[in-house]
Amino acid sequence: MQLKKFGLKPKIVENGKKAVDLYLAGGTFNLILMDKEMHVMDGVEATRELRATGVNSLIVGVTSRGSPYEKKAFMEAGLDFCFEKPLTAEKITFLLQKLNKNNESF
């Protein structure tokens, strides 16, 4: 819902495997929001898989588990940023600014 408020058109999948499959089928995205806690394939494994296939999009992890150890493991999977839930308007604004800055450097 927050993303739609910014005029974005998110594509939502139910688990990490479907996110990886979407990329393997030719999907491309500037920003990937990856939930850490998912069934079938969690966000850590899905992030590793995406990076291993060469995905260089901005990948941002979201988690309800705020322990430094869990965040560190998630970041090491290949995240650019990791936020605790909920994903607020301020966090989305920050990410959109990062995307705009990255696009300017091309």
Count how many residues are written for the chain.
Answer: 106
The structural domains of the chain, ordered by start, are 3-86 (3.40.50.2300)
Cβ contacts of 6 within 8 Å, gap of 6 or more: 92, 93, 96
pLDDT band at 106 (very low <50, low <70, confident <90, very high): very low
User: pLDDT tens for residues 95-104?
Assistant: 988 888 776 6
Q: Compute the distance between CA of residue 37 and CA of residue 44 in angstroms, rounded to an integer.
A: 9
Under DSSP, the state recorded for 28 is -
- Both ends of the chain: CA-CA distance in Å? 30
Quickly tell me which residue has 């966090």 as its tokens: 91
Q: Is the pLDDT of residue 58 over 90?
A: yes
E strands in 1-106: 31-35, 58-63, 81-84
Percentage of the chain beyond pLDDT 90 is 53
pLDDT tens-digit profile of 10-55?
A: 888 999 999 999 999 998 888 999 999 988 999 999 999 999 999 9
pTM of the model: 0.87
